[in-house]
Structures are given as C-alpha cells and as structure tokens.
Structure 1
Amino acid sequence: MLAGPTWAATTTLSTAPQQQNLKAVRKEIDSLQKDIAQKQAVQKQAQSAIQQSELAIQQTDQVLNQLGKKQNASTQRLADLEHQIQTAQQQVALARQKVSQMLAHQYRNGEHDAMKLMFNGSDPNQTSRDLVYYQYIARAQQQLIQDLNQRQASLAQLAEQLEQQLHIIVGMSTKKAQEKSQLQQTRADKQQQVHQLNSEIQNRQDQLAKLKQDEKRLTDLIANINRKIQQQIAERKAKEKAAFKARQEAARKENERRRRMAADAQKQGKPVPEVAKTQVPVETVDTAADDSNAGRAFKSLQGRMKLPVTGEIAGRFGTMRNEGTVWKGVFIHAGRGQAVHVVADGRVVYADALRGFGNAVIVDHGGNYLTVYTGLSVVGRGVGDAVKAGDSLGSTGALDSGEPGLYFEIRYLGKPVNPLTWVH
C-alpha cells in the first residue's frame, strides 16, 4: 500500500490560532456591516422625511402666499367699502340737510299751507302747478334718502361679511404659519439625525476599513503558513517517494541478483542457495478506490485519492517503457477480472477501444480534470453515464502489448499529471 504520514498533522506549523483570530475579525466585520446597513436604512428614511418636510414647507408657503394675497385683497376691499359707507352717510346727511332747508324755506314763506297758496295767488293754475312741484320735490328728496339708507345698509352688510371672511383668512394664515413652524422643526430634527448618522456611519466605516486590513493581514499570514506547510509536506512527500522508489529499486535489484545466482547455480549443476530461492517483496497497491470520496470536488482529492485497482506498480509516471516510450500515468500489474473503480465522481465521456491500450474508459470530473483507465477486458459503462467515486467501470485485462493489468492516467487541461502525487 502507498502510505505516508498525514503531513499537516506532523508539521510544527499551525494556522489554528490565526484561524481563530480571523474568525473573530470576520465576525466583527459582519456585525459592523450589519450595523452600517441598519444606520444607512435609518439615514435614508430620515433623508426621505427631510424631503417630505421641505415639500410640505413649500406647499405651506404657497398656501400662505395665497392667503396673504386674499387677506390683502379683502383688506383693500374692506377699506373701499368703509369709504363707500362713509360717502353714503355724507350723501344721506347732505340730502337730509337739503330737505330740511327746503321745508324751512317753505315754512318761512307760508308755502306749507296749500289753501293759503290758492287764495293768495292771482293765477289758480299756477298755484296748482307750484303745489304739485313742491310735493314732487319733497317725494324725490325722501326717496333719495331712502335709497341712500338702503345702500348704506347694504354696504354695511357687505363690510360685515368681508370682516368675517378676513377673520377666517387670518385664522387660516395663523394655522398654516404654525404648521410651517412645526414642519421646519421636524426638518431640523431630521437634519440633526442625519448629521449624527453620517458621523456614526463614517466612524463604523473607518472601523470596518481597519478590520478589513486586519483580515487581509491575517489571511496573508495564514496563506504564508499554509505555503510553508505545503512546502514541508511536499519535501517530506518527495523524500518518502524517493525512499519508496529506492526500496522498490533495491528490491528489484536484489531479486534480479537472486535470479542470476539461481541461474548460475543451475548452469553449474550446483544446489541453488537458499537466499536465491526466495524473492524480496516489492511494495504494491493493496487498496482500491471506494465511495469515501463521493461528492467531493476532484481538485480537493489530491493527497487522499486511492488508485483504481490493487496490485503491483510496474510502470511509474515519467519512466521508460519497454518499447521506448514514457509512462504518462501508472501501470498497475494485476490479474484479469478485477473490478476497476472510478476514483472520483464524474461522467463517462469515452468508452471504447483505444489503439495501443486496449479497451479504455475516460471520465470527466469537471474543473478540467479527466481520468483515463485502459487495458480493460470488460467495459461496464457507456458514454454519458454518471458515476460516483468507487463505482465499477469494468474489469482488468491487458494492454495491446500483452501486459496484464491496468494503465491509469490523470489529466489536467489535457496534460498528464503524476497520479502518485494524488494518492495516499
């Protein structure tokens, strides 16, 4: 089994304290952002109230202006009526004075006695005409006085109505002036609230900017620590792989030496040495992919993936093949008929024979990652089939060269990557 320590657990570096600090900072950032959002909502409401107050003040000013014009017009009209009343009073007084003078003149001249006028006159017809004339004048003067009195009464009634209307206008103006004062006070209160909110929001935004700087510093610190951790993991993993390869190579050389020793002994007719009768075990893959990685993004599986089948690793990424080409994946020596398991969730995009490799299945895992399984004796999936980690794609067989086992590749953006850097 390819195995190794859990590098992040064995390293002396740790991001845990910084992660805790980062979590606290982000919580405070979230709290500040919510507080700012709430204050901005209140600020918006207050600004809207200010706009409404200003509109109401403008409307009130328009009403006050109209009422002022009406008041001025009514005041002028009232002054005109009072002048007309005064003129009518003077005319009544003048008419009465003229009537009084005429009556007094008649009385002094004895013209008040109709019989006397008749007896004293030399011409009865003239006397009759004078009497009618005096009566006509008296009635005309009396009618004039009555008309003037009626006009004076009508003007007085109009003046009273106008005074009542003017009183109403003054009351309305007073009420509108009070409303305007209240609106101005409301606007001033809201402006003060907006000013205070602006100050608080600016203060919170300053705090938020500082916290985001703190968050960035912590994030950068954690990223730096993670880079160092990954570097340590890579170094240890490289050492472990080098040691693993060295052990495999040493085992092969020792087995080759023992085979030659046995062959030489047989050629010479000598007994085969005991040491040549056994082979040094070569490290093999003894676990295959299962459903433990189901539901995970392919990129997240690096370092925890299992290979598709169990068996001995007979061809390593980047090493030469017998026919002179280079392995772009790994070849796992395995007996025929073993189940071949897909290493991660995905969808089958190829399921057919592939020249030089026998039957092949290619699975798309998303994120520009593909896996290639070749040398299958039986293909159990078709193009378009969705598969989960651990599902069977078919069974092992042999490559076109006759090598029994499974050839496995991982490709990213179409380029092969070393599968052994993905497995544990």
Structure 2
Amino acid sequence: MTLFFSSSALAAQNQERAEQELQQLKQVISQLQKRLAENRSQQSDTEKAIQAIDVKLSAVSKELRDTQSKITQNKNQLNKLQKQKTEKNILKEQQRKQLSSQLRSAYIAGQEEYIKLLLNQEDPAKISRMLQYYRYLNEARIRDIEALQKTLQELQQVEQQINSKTLELTELETKQKQQVEQQLSLKSQQTDALKQLKQEYQNQNTRLAQLRKDEQELQSIISSLQQTLEEFAPKQSLKGLAKHKNKLNWPVKGSVEHRFGSNKFENKVKWNGIVINASSGQSVQSIYNGQVVFADWLRGFGLMVIIDHGQGYLSLYGQNESLLKSTGDWVEAGEPVATVGRSGGSSEPGLYFEIRYKGKPQNPLSWIK
C-alpha cells in the first residue's frame, strides 16, 4: 500500500509539474503573439490581406478535412449496417421457412392424433409420452415465433439507423461541397494577393530588408522558446535527435526545391532550411516525437508549427495550408501536424522545413533518410 500511494503521489506531482510547464510555455507564447501583433501592424495592406486569407483558408481547410473524415466514417458505418440488414433478412427468411414448416405440419396433423389418443384410451404411459412430445413441439414453435419477432425488431432498428446515417451523409456531402467552394474562392483570393505582393517586391532593397526582417523575427521567436525550454529541460522526458541522424523520416513526400545554404536572394540571404515540393493538402508529419511549442502564422513563413524534441532540438514546418495541432500538444513520430500549402507569400505549394540545435540551423538532409 505504501508503494501504491507513493506511486500515486509521484504521478500527481509529475502531472502538476507538466501543467505548470505548459502554463509557462503558453505565457511565453502569449508574449510572443503580442509582439508579433505589434510587428504585423507595420505590414502593408497586401501583407495583412495575405495573413487574413491564410488564416481563413486554414480554418476552412481544417473543417473540410474533418468533414471528409466524417463522410468516410459514415460510409463505413453504412456499409456495416447494409451488411447487417442483408444478414438479418437472410435470417428472417430462414426463420419464416422453419416456422411455416412447423405450422404446416401442425395444421395437417391438427388435433386428430391428440383426440385419437384420448378416445382410443391407449396405454396411459404412451399417452403421457405423446402429450409431452406435443408440449415440446408447442414450446419450440413459441421460441421460433419469439426469435422471428426479435429478428424483425432488429431489422427495423437497422433500417432506421440506415435512414439516419443516409440523411447525415447527405448533409455532410452538402457541407463538403460548400467548404470546397469556399476553399477554392480563398485560394483564388490568395493568388491575387500574391500577385499584388510580387509587384510590391519589385524593389530589391525592399525585398531584401523584408527577408532579413522575417529571419530576425523567426530567430527571436526561437531564442525566446529555447530560453523557456531550457528552464524546465531537466524535467522533460524528451531525449533529442542526436541518436537519430540520417534515420528520421521525411516530413512529407516530394522533391527538394531549395536546399539548405543555397541562395535565397541576391547572394545576401541563404536558406536556413529546405523547401519540399508537395501538393496542397498533403499531410505534414512530425519527424520525431515531441511537443508543439508554436503553432501560428508568421510573416514570410506562413502558418508555422515548431516542435520541441528535447535537448535543444527543434523542427520547424512552414508555408502550411492548415494547422492540425495547437501549442502544448504532444505528438508522435509520423503523426500529422499540418497540411501542405503556400501560406506566407509562397508562389507554389510546398513545405518549408528546418531543424535547429540550440537555435542554430542544421542541414535537414543530414538528418532525414
């Protein structure tokens, strides 16, 4: 009992500590978001429009994903119900035939044999056996009738469930159609806004200054997160990525468009990560288990997810169409955390992916297999 209560107390302490760490992390995120909001107030109208469209598109895309998942579940449930209905109908016919055969035999025999037994005054022992036999037959018919009634009731329930699921599926498909139309409209608005932004960036000095500002903002966020994470790092169970070099799976399937360290703009800004070409809506998966420490829109990087893997290792996933996780969520390796998009001003859909160790960018291609 002492061991049990000690274990319970330890579990409670760990739970309380984890909640305190999460609250501390959320306070830092809240401060970061306030700072980001101040920075966003200095954005151009086009940049503000892109952010608004990206955020709306994220919400619609996530809702569409949920709707599609529910449609798939409903179709699977309908298939199971239809199978049950077929099985119940087969059972019903079998029970009807069996009962019909019994009733037909009883009708043909009628009460003649029973009356004959009494009138002929046959052997009392034989009469007793025959009466018992008729009683058994009658009980069997009653059981068969009850079984048929139960089957008919179950069949009625299944048919009601089928009608309900069919109606629900119709409503979901209507909702899906509306969401697809809304998504297409937002993507069209996104394209128009990107064209406008491209015109505004024709001045190379303006573009260079903007890129450097975006990088500084991201670095500032990572530094703040890193400092906070280091405060409770000893309490974490996360072991980092050091033992998994060249062993991690790709966050998304696709070809590499931009490589780590290659020229990003005028040989004055380099890529701190890689850009992987992928189709809009593809699942972006966590490369390893960890905790989401940032999930928000960031200028120049769009909808961004940052995952802490412990021991100073972070993985970053940007340009997403929608975010599937929130700050504080724990994720496993291979778990979807976002969907591919072109948020943040990217002209083509794809994933911007980084790995950082103690705030410094690492070549992701040296880590993934």
TM-score (ref. length: structure 1): 0.36
* Rg larger in structure: 1
Structure with more contact order per residue of length (Cα contacts < 8 Å, sep ≥ 6): 2
TM-score (ref. length: structure 2): 0.41
